[in-house]
Amino acid sequence: MIVSKIPSPARIVREIWKPLTVLFVWDVIVTITYYVLPFKAPELPVTLFGTVLGLFLGFRSNSAYQRWWEGRGLWGLMINASRNIARSARNFMPDPEASDYKRRIVMRQIAYVNALRCQLRRLPPDEEVIRLLPQHEADLALERTNVANGILDGTGRRIDEARRNGWIDTIQQAQMEAVLVDIANAQGGMERLKNTPLPFQYRFLPMLFTHLFCVLLPIGLVETLQFATPLGSTIAGLMFLAVLTIGDDLVDPFANDIHDLPLNAMCRTIEIDLLQSIGEKAPEPLGPDKHGVLW
């Protein structure tokens, strides 16, 4: 996610130079054709077209942003639930003999959120997952199709073992299981967003109409703008393409791109909070890179 207040000119140029070049070349071709082979430009209601297209693109961008914001809200719930499971483990199991169990539950939760981060980004589990689990437990989780859910199931078994060992009672077990349910529900919501794209009409038709509008725009403006057609038409077309691109950037909040949610930073936040809750040394928070992007 870009967090810098000042946009990077180099990044802007990288993102717009290709469509800007294509638009400008097409507008120049139309303008030259108008003067070399005089023709009467058809009466195209470009204002009406632009208004309708703007409403269509605005509706699509709002739908994409709602998906992005819902993803952020689900990760906020995940952060809170992770803190809750660590606090419950710490407070419900004060027995010194249970100290290893408390630590294992905390480490499993940190491993879980990192495994979920990798799944949502369509990446294999990285070292942040493997290093936090004993080898045999990591192997069991990696055998599962849904690695994150495998780790969460193991946490549930550890809580049940704590109850059978007498470190917690059935009421405390039920409270901790309720937190695990919240975690599983948040994961399910994230998987729904990841695996359910916008309907085909929302993806194809805006792209088709936007490009068609950019093709017709200089034809409808050339008699009015004349030599200024390449400049005016290119800027106007670029605005519509920018709105189209915004929707594409936001529609998948979990992709590993500069416009997506900073999953690495949120996983690090969870790791810091959970380790400090059991009195262990925690790493430093992640900050934006030199380009102003928080991953």
pLDDT digits (tens, 9 = 90+) for 87-118: 998 888 888 877 888 888 899 999 999 999 99
**Over the stretch 120-143, which tens digit does the pLDDT of each residue have?**
998 888 877 788 788 877 777 788
pLDDT tens digits, one per residue of 1-48: 666 666 666 666 677 778 888 888 888 888 888 888 776 666 667 777
Looking at residues 183-212, what average pLDDT do you find?
Answer: 88
The tokens of 259 are what? 């416009």
Quote the DSSP letter at residue 132. T
State the average pLDDT over residues 171-190: 93
Question: 149-156 contacts: CB < 8 A, separation 24 or more?
Answer: 149/184, 149/187, 151/108, 151/111, 151/112, 151/115, 152/112, 152/180, 152/183, 152/184, 152/187, 154/108, 155/85, 155/105, 155/108, 155/109, 155/112, 155/180, 156/180
Element (H, E) at 149: helix 147-164
| 3-class secondary structure, 4 | coil
Using the predicted structure, report yes or no on whether residue 292 has a pLDDT greater than 80. Answer: no
3-class SS string, 53-64? HHHHHHHHHHHH
- Distance separating alpha carbons of residues 248 and 60, to the nearest angstrom: 9
DSSP state of 41: P
Strand, helix or coil at 2?
Answer: strand
pLDDT score of 103:
87
Extract the tokens encoding 249.
């950037």
Say how far apart CA 100 and CA 257 lie, in whole Å.
38
Three-class secondary structure assignment of 172-204 = HHHHHHHHHHHHHHHHHHHHHHHHCCCCHHHHH
Assigned token pair, 168: 């917690």
Report helix, strand and coil shares of the chain as percent, to nearest 5: 75, 0, 25
In a 10 Å sphere around its CB, with 0-12 CB exposed, 13-18 middle and 19+ buried, how is residue 132 labelled? Answer: buried
